[in-house]
Amino acid sequence: MFEPRDHDPAPDELAGRVIAISGAGSGLGRAVALACARCQARVILIGRNVARLEAVHAEIAASGGPEATIAPLDLERALAQDYDQLADAVLERYGRLDGLLHNAALLGSLTPIEHYDVPTWCRVLHVNVTAAFALTQVLLPLLRKSADAAVLFTASSVGRRGRAYWGAYAVSKFALEGLAQVLSDELEGITAVRVNTLNPGRARTAMRRQAYPAEDPDTLPLPETLTRAYIALLGPASRGVSGRAFDAQPAAAAGGSSAASSS
């Protein structure tokens, strides 16, 4: 059975592929972007913090990887024209898209549903679900132009089994699982686009620190150690695999809560 976390990527595994990554300025998004570039992908760095995107762009250039592209996009405030401009720019520069990783997310607050702040709820659902839907929709024509394309949504353990106090974040991750299933079913048999979800598990990221401020970060794996599953699901190794939910770490290794590690 296909298991992406056990995949050993070849140095040129993603050669010729164009892969867009949201939330690429830090955390897992940054780690996956650098890993994709090391495997010779041309990476499109999507995020709201231009300085961070430029830093990742510089790291890719210094490593000798294919030239990356910076695509500033604030998923909380972006309008339809902003999404259209991004799609037009990708079409003009590359002519297609071979991979799309949704990594950007907001945690919101860890609060009982009874007391959850409604504006915060709306912000989290908008960034984590609606913006991901909009970005997928506007880039889908470019993904269809690829002979072998992948859409990958970043999942969470609390989006597969609900847990008290995780509120809008958990609900948004449940929604992404549903979005991935619906989209996979719609595209199956009529396109070369596959759609899956991946739960990264516990990782040393800013979002994890926000969720667990008392946790010792030295007990957590670095994002760079979790990228092989992403390479497998964004590259040719997962050709023909769609509509499935994967984990980047075994349950025993993940330990405890594997929520809130994407950013």
Domain limits, the chain: 12-246
| pLDDT confidence of residue 195 | 98
Strand partners, 198: 154, 246
230 noted as active-site residue: no
Beta-strand ranges (E) seen in 158-209 are 193-199
Euclidean distance between CA atoms 62 and 134, whole angstroms: 33
- Catalytic option among 83, 94, 169, 230: 169
CATH 3.40.50.720 matches 12-246: yes
Sort 86 into a burial class: Cβ within 10 Å, 0-12 / 13-18 / 19+.
buried
pTM equals 0.94
Alpha helix (H) residue ranges in 191-260? 206-211, 227-234, 251-254
Strand partners, 102: 153
For each of the chain's 263 residues, which pLDDT tens digit applies? 899 999 999 999 999 999 999 999 999 999 999 999 999 999 999 999 999 999 999 999 999 999 999 999 999 999 999 999 999 999 999 999 999 999 999 999 999 999 999 999 999 999 999 999 999 999 999 999 999 999 999 999 999 999 999 999 999 999 999 999 999 999 999 999 999 999 998 888 878 888 888 888 888 889 999 999 999 999 999 999 999 999 999 875 544 445 666 66
